[in-house]
Structure 1
Amino acid sequence: MTDDGRGAGATTAQPGGEGETGDLNATFCAAFVDELVRSGVTDAVVCPGSRSTPMALAIDGDERLRVHVHHDERSAAFLALGLGRATGRPAPVLTTSGTAAVELHPAVVEADLDRVPLLVLTADRPPEKRDVGAAQTIDQTHLYGRSVRWFADPGPPSWEAADSWRSLASRAVLEAGRPHPGPVQVNLPFREPLVGRPGPLPPGRDSGRPWHRMAAPSPASGDQAGATREALAGAERGVIVAGGDIDDPDAVLALADAWGWPVLADPRSGCRTGHRAAIAHADALLRSAAVGDEVDAVVRLGSVPASKVQAQWLARLDVPQVVVDRDGAWFDPDRTAGLLVPAAPGAWARAMLALGSRSTSPGWGQRWRRADDAVEAVLVDALDGDGSLTEPGTARVVAGSLPAGGALVVSSSMPVRDLEWFAGPIPGVAVHANRGANGIDGVVSTAVGVALAGAPTALLIGDIALLHDTNGLLGAARRDIDLCVVVVDNGGGGIFSFLPQASAVAPERFEALFATPHGVDLAALVRAHGIPATTIDRVAELGPAVAGAVAQGGVHVVLVTTDRAANVELHDHLHRLTADAISDLP
């Protein structure tokens, strides 16, 4: 017997005959799931289906796993993605065969592009059922193309291959994790009967450790630090752009402090803490030539920030730019980087600190600090009173209403931009967003997955994104999570009102093709899922509503109604106010 008490040290029985196929399936799945747990998996997401029965029973039968059942495969995959985002561990998502497996594709794409560990288990019909018109049978081989880190199809379970079962599961977890996290597909054909009893499992490692392991990644080397120093030689007015996936924000901020450089801190970076080097309103500052055009070097850490203004500024700068990324990923859409450093940003920052101080233009960091403080003062005056709620004000309030240790999930389109542009410091809160493919599908489910990791969580989302993933609310009220969903309802696709289409297309055509008002009673829709919904009208009411919902626990929805045209006017007004504040600085 092994340390897990499941008989994995015994010789695997190898019954013969077709009548034993059910037991064979059950034994394979039990060994596979046991090795998943040995490899660190703690949660699994199961979608109802027939062909996946052997694996579903094995997952549900292992008391070491938390099992989350979801009716909708697309939402289930994003729930698993949310768990992977929050924990750094892949959560298997299991589906039956056919189009059920296709529904996972959007989450697979997001996991690939934003480097989130995800393990996709697609049950399949056996080979003899393919290409003969058998029901619920499609070609699931390499179904997700180049989006996966690894694909495996071991064929229907066989006793002869029992020695490979554990290795298959352990490698799948390994391939989904470091050093290049992302999705893995294991396609699992099962012959009938699909129900059986597991026999003794093939032996595992006597120590209980997984079949495959990976050594810890190396820290940033002296060579990398030296190459960076050479690339930045002579720079005295540099900036650090901190995007998503910063492993050690404190190290980055310490380096910025030592160098006297500002950190343009994306909300997802963890650097927007209130530290004197952390710049929260980079978008507003870069709309002005007051400071941005004097930069003579840029270091870019992690994934790309959401700000289009910042991207355009980086694209037109004719100065040395260094990209530091944990995987050496090519985050350089405008091809302006002169050096790519494959290192975790925190490790790189510590290596640079070890090289000592550098010469910086006097007062350089303080100029950015004064400008950022001036913008914050304007926003406090314009948005933090007791007036009617606005979309920028909603982003500010939600970000400031979560306790330390909480999590904030923010949807693409306008919510992520409003958070980046208008929120101040967000200390102690982990900010998550599906910015790999920048889609609005699966956002509710992603937030449910993040909340399942245990942190009190808020979701800031627009009405159309909510409708894209209404099925993310299925069963949410019965899950053990603390989640407050704040929905900005502006009656359609608000972001299109900021694009040239809004003025170039006749109003009625614009409404029909782009704004697409939905006419749905969102409060009634939410309540149909057994979730309480509250409508908020005033700025002063929103913060207590969010904080109270998180403290109370469970799932709550807070609705904020805004007007699309007024929202565009407000954004223009705020941009003018902040530009004036910056230009008035000495």
Structure 2
Amino acid sequence: MTTAILHAQQIILLFKKRGVKDIIISPGSRNAPLTIGFTSDPYFNCYSIVDERCAGHFAMGIAQQLQKPAALLCTSGSALLNYYPAVTEAFYSEIPLIILSADRPPHKIDIGDGQTIRQQHVYANHILFDAQLQMIANTSQKEYLVTNERAINKAINTAISKHGPVHLNIPFEEPLYNKVDHSLLEVRVMDVLKDETTIIPQEFFNQWNAASRKLVILSTLNPPVFEKEDLDQLTSDPSVLVMSEVSSNVVHDKIVWGIDTLIAPIEFDDEQIAALQPDLVVTIGGMIVSKKIKQYLRRFETKTHYHIGKRRAYDTFFKLTAHIKMPPTKWLSHLSNDFVSSDYQEHWLAHFQNYLEKRPAYFEQIPWSDMRVFQRVFDQLPDNILLQLGNSSTIRYAQLFQMNPTHRVYSNRGTSGIDGCTSTAIGAAVGSNQQTILITGDISFFYDSNGLWNNYIPSNFKIILVNNSGGGIFRILPGEKDEDYFATYFETKHELNASDLCHMHKIEYQNIDNESAFAKAWETFINNNNKPQLLEIFTPREINDQILLDYFKYLK
């Protein structure tokens, strides 16, 4: 049994041929032909998510883990606009999504019908490919059949090869619910795109081999691309200093894993900060989290910057020399073992180690706070989990702690918004079948509270909610924190808690607000896998910022 509408059948048949199995559907009427077709075919994994904003991020979480496209399907009108936050995140995080938006026939746009807007090219600034399909009344319309076939193929090929979102807008005329026993159409797979690889320019080798201070920055790498042997090779060069971020999924004893911990104590020491200045910068991975390294390399006007990898390159420091489109491990194999004399790596690793040795004394003296909570949490997270990190202060605190090498770490660092963190984590848990723990802040969590409104949350899914009663990161940023407007319009002070939400969505709930309660609550939280768990940890709103800022002063 499938839909009787032929251009809907084309999508369903080509999705099957190309292995697009995961379909996230938001209920509606205009999308009924595709809903009928997908849900009637056991080949597809179909999910019903009512809130399109949450559905978009849920789909992105699945695609993030499977490394292949997930599809979104919605009705006409305002529905597809609610996908836009996920579309932009997928665009900048390079995650394959296929958006299928049902629409009215073209002659019924702007005549006063309800749930009718101008849907074509609605994502124009953040989409890799978009097209509107032709409506097909019968199989004699060969030209339309071929046009649609090419558009659907190109959408799938682009999502896969270019790693990002694509959009097909699909007009349907009533009747929408007619069905047939089976499709009589034949569809073709066509124009599969090939990987693009560039050679390494000779200029790079000349600059690399001559430089005595080479800085390699590893940011978002999902899935991980380096084995220990690769990192051993890269760090064997004494002129190479490697810095990694938490989302790089890289742990190695000769890598600076805490960029802000290294830079913050010396950022206003002209002599020290000048000594860190590299001759050449190489970036590998996605968006860089650390604002301090970005500001530093812009301030000193980095002369040469190469980006290595098949994905998109960003001119983060305004000095991008070239994008070398090849797997980072292949790039490594081309590097010379004839090293220049340098103490660049040794000097800064010793500096970093000195700061690490000071840390325990500082942690012993701080009171219950965000910093103390993150220290306790990262010390005690179980092995072999999928760790999803919320944005804003959560990912920045995480950068201050060395990650467990058995963890796989993800965060929505494309647009770096707070929207969709919970929905993405749940989608990732569904896509990975691995125990997933989300660490998030209160504003992020309440903003995406509809992310809990679905029937697919695994029983071993867990949320650590750090509730400091507002947007705590704004207290860390420059600004007058005692002004009347600050608490309302920046910090967004509130008195909310998650207990009622958890009760409504059948999630086991605990809360704590002090050190002594942590151990007992943690044991229950980690060991109970019979239903989803949420541990809400309250911290004092007005001291968190000072404890973090004092951490950097203490190291200095």
How high is the TM-score relative to the length of structure 2?
0.89
Count the aligned residue pairs: 540
DSSP-derived class of the 1:278 partner: coil
8 Å CA contact 2:103, 2:170 repeated in 1: yes
Gaps spanning 5+ residues in structure 1: where? 1-5, 7-21, 580-586
8 Å CA contact 2:459, 2:529 repeated in 1: no
Aligned ranges 1:247-258 → 2 under 5 Å: 247-250=224-227, 253-258=231-236
For residues 115 and 358 of structure 1, what CA distance do their matches in structure 2 show? 35
Q: Which amino acid counterpart does residue 417 of structure 2 have in structure 1?
A: G
Q: State the shift of 1:299 in Å.
A: 1.7
For residues 120 and 34 of structure 1, what CA distance do their matches in structure 2 show? 16
Aligned ranges 1:47-446 → 2 under 5 Å: 47-159=26-138, 160=141, 161-163=144-146, 165-178=148-161, 180-198=162-180, 199-204=182-187, 210-218=189-197, 221=199, 223-224=200-201, 226-245=202-221, 247-250=224-227, 253-260=231-238, 261-271=240-250, 273=251, 275-287=252-264, 288=266, 289=269, 292-294=273-275, 295-297=277-279, 298-327=281-310, 329-352=312-335, 355-362=336-343, 364-383=344-363, 389-420=368-399, 422-446=400-424
Distance 1:379 1:558, change over 3 A: farther
8 Å CA contact 2:213, 2:241 repeated in 1: no
Distance 1:402 1:152, change over 3 A: farther
Distance 1:192 1:481, change over 3 A: farther
1:524 to 500, 514, 518: 500
For residues 412 and 122 of structure 1, what CA distance do their matches in structure 2 show? 29
Task: String of CA shifts for 1:84-115, please: whole Å, max 9, x gaps.
Answer: 22221111011100011111111111111221
2:491 to 515, 518, 521: 515
DSSP-derived class of the 2:185 partner: coil
8 Å CA contact 1:259, 1:360 repeated in 2: no
2:474 is the counterpart of 1:493: no
Distance 1:24 1:62, change over 3 A: closer
Task: String of CA shifts for 1:324-356, please: whole Å, max 9, x gaps.
Answer: 14346341233133343233333322332xx33
Q: Which amino acid counterpart does residue 117 of structure 2 have in structure 1?
A: I
Task: String of CA shifts for 1:17-58, please: whole Å, max 9, x gaps.
Answer: xxxxx9531x44344223213212231111011101111111
Q: State the shift of 1:361 in Å.
A: 0.9
For residues 550 and 375 of structure 1, what CA distance do their matches in structure 2 show? 34
Q: Which amino acid counterpart does residue 440 of structure 1 have in structure 2?
A: I
Partner in structure 2 of residue 559 of structure 1: 536
Distance 1:534 1:416, change over 3 A: same
Partner in structure 2 of residue 42 of structure 1: 21
Q: Which amino acid counterpart does residue 67 of structure 1 have in structure 2?
A: C
8 Å CA contact 2:525, 2:533 repeated in 1: no
Q: Which amino acid counterpart does residue 215 of structure 2 have in structure 1?
A: V
DSSP-derived class of the 1:71 partner: coil
Q: State the shift of 1:561 in Å.
A: 0.7
8 Å CA contact 2:7, 2:135 repeated in 1: no
For residues 350 and 523 of structure 2, what CA distance do their matches in structure 1 show? 31
Q: Which moved more, 1:49-58 or 1:323-332?
A: 323-332
Q: State the shift of 1:77 in Å.
A: 0.5
Q: State the shift of 1:286 in Å.
A: 1.2
DSSP-derived class of the 1:394 partner: helix
Identity across the alignment (%): 24
How high is the TM-score relative to the length of structure 1?
0.85
Partner in structure 1 of residue 511 of structure 2: 535
Task: String of CA shifts for 1:175-220, please: whole Å, max 9, x gaps.
Answer: 1122x21111110111111112234342246xxxx444333454x6
For residues 119 and 492 of structure 1, what CA distance do their matches in structure 2 show? 35
Distance 1:539 1:433, change over 3 A: farther
8 Å CA contact 2:508, 2:531 repeated in 1: no
Gaps spanning 5+ residues in structure 2: where? none
Q: Which moved more, 1:528-537 or 1:455-464?
A: 528-537
Distance 1:256 1:320, change over 3 A: farther
Task: String of CA shifts for 1:255-300, please: whole Å, max 9, x gaps.
Answer: 42221323210111122x1x12221112121122586532433222
Q: Which amino acid counterpart does residue 63 of structure 2 have in structure 1?
A: G
Distance 1:23 1:84, change over 3 A: closer
DSSP-derived class of the 1:151 partner: strand
